[in-house]
Chain A
């Protein structure tokens, strides 16, 4: 059972991370900074519960706010660059964050033990859940409630004008400006929102694994974050969820019985799917989601 809970948790974090990249991709920003925001959320909320003994809900919220504040700051220079340049710049940001935490030592004695981030040794004993008697199924449910809330929020965003405006900016910036849209507001808001979602995901991740170090936040994770919405399709939020289930659930966990061949098949299947469904997994007719995801008519 623990094993399946573990997979469910993992799909939960990755979905949140994918959704944070999805929000930015709607505005045409391919951001590799999501893992940086994820790391900030993880460390910030971990420090809050472990060192300051703050309640988990408050800690996750404050951690996400700190991550979104950094996203807000990243949003401004990101306005001036696009495409590959933005990819490089946001990779640089994520690496700065990772190296900062690699060097961060902030140890505090609690009940005779030293706790807190310990540089290369990582940040151990983030034990809020265990210390407060949460069962594994409590944790899984909590993560999935957050995932569903974020999924719903982004789905709803597409039903109001803000969602159309995000997509308009993503399709054609000049046409959007010429329709009276303030690009700065829209793109920086999307970056801030994406940072908030990644920050929550990071906090949940740190508390459910109880241990994070700089290796948890490499560029590989940032690559996965942008791969989910691209593989799933940007038509709506459920594409990202499908892509995470496909990669984390089916390819990584489901093919474990293949042993080493799994790694070969893994990449091949992604390439095949992208070739057959270039607009995303959401378009696979197997699950006819058209009712649920139908565009809004007037």
Chain B
């Protein structure tokens, strides 16, 4: 469903992403790994449209989205979480989800109703998403008052609220202990059960190797390997890139 073809991005002469191509199929969980500075986060930002690609194209379901602004890419089915959590901390938990909530077209009664109307039918949907994300008891708390793990879950809830087909998770396990990683793994598998496609950028191998169907490895902005977790673990180029060997 996601096709990335020969994309490139330079930052002042540094090739952050260099001629990168890979696909993500519907319903798949794909891991994107690589050493620090290998271009993983840049790739995520290019897919979301935080900055435009210099070269190449990004398509979702054969529709080229390379030139769309970020919010239109969300409408075409891409949502994300951030490496460093970016919640609306002064809004309550349910408002964080409310802001991102996309209407089912059947229920939607136009933009006046959505922006200025009463939100009875939206409330049920918001509660459902929050319960699914394990935040059932914290609807009315300020997002900034949640624990670290809860904040990560709320980011995921907010990402789900925009009705994505593809979710990009940017290092969701950063800073988590192993219990929390296990919980996160289950949540990612739950996303797959819902029929969502996941692209996971992650350093925590304990998570990556146990959840993904396929891995793409980057180094210096280029793809150096792609395959199943077992293949990647035994790949010499990957070992060199991570261990810094010649």
Contacts and interface: CB of A to CB of B under 8 A. Distances in A.
B240 to A, nearest CB: 35
A161 B86 contact: no
B90 A297 contact: no
B170 to A, nearest CB: 11
Main secondary structure of the interface of A (DSSP, over half): helix
Contacts of B114: 161
B91 interface: yes
Contacts of A179: 74, 79, 99-100, 158, 161-162
Nearest to B92: A295
Interface stretch (B20-28, B116-124, B184-192, B214-222): B116-124
A161 B116 CA distance: 6
Nearest to A279: B90
Contacts of B80: 178
B225 interface: no
Interface string A228-255: 0000000000000000000000000000
Given A180-B162, A182-B71, A175 B82 contact: yes
Among A160, A175, A296, chain B packs the most CB atoms within 10 A around the CB of: A175
Contacts of B118: 160
A180 B71 contact: yes
Contacts of B115: 160-162, 165
A298 interface: yes
A183 B98 CA distance: 17
A40 B113 CA distance: 33
Interface stretch (A89-97, A166-174, A258-266): A166-174
Interface residues of A, number: 23
Contacts of A162: 115-116
Contacts of A161: 98-99, 114-116, 119, 122
A160 B116 contact: yes
A172 B115 CA distance: 19
A233 B161 CA distance: 30
Contacts of A181: 71, 99
B178 interface: no
Nearest to A234: B90
B91 A171 contact: yes
Nearest to A183: B71
Interface string A146-188: 0000000000000011101101100110111111111100000
Among A172, A295, A298, chain B packs the most CB atoms within 10 A around the CB of: A298
Contacts of B92: 295-298
A171 B89 contact: yes
Contacts of B161: 179
B189 to A, nearest CB: 23
Interface string B59-98: 0000000000111001100011010001111111011101
A174 B86 contact: yes
A171 B75 CA distance: 21
A165 B50 CA distance: 19
Nearest to B86: A175
B77 to A, nearest CB: 11
Contact of A180 (B82, B87, B100, B139): B100
A160 B102 contact: no
Given A175-B88, A176-B99, 15 more contacts: A160-B115, A160-B117, A161-B99, A161-B122, A164-B98, A171-B88, A177-B74, A179-B79, A179-B161, A180-B71, A180-B75, A181-B71, A298-B123, A298-B126, A298-B127
The 6 closest A-B pairs by CB, nearest first: A179-B100, A180-B74, A175-B86, A177-B70, A297-B140, A162-B115
25 contacts: A160-B116, A160-B117, A160-B119, A162-B116, A164-B99, A167-B88, A168-B91, A168-B99, A171-B88, A172-B88, A174-B50, A174-B86, A176-B88, A176-B99, A177-B70, A177-B71, A178-B70, A179-B162, A180-B71, A180-B102, A295-B140, A297-B92, A297-B139, A298-B126, A298-B139
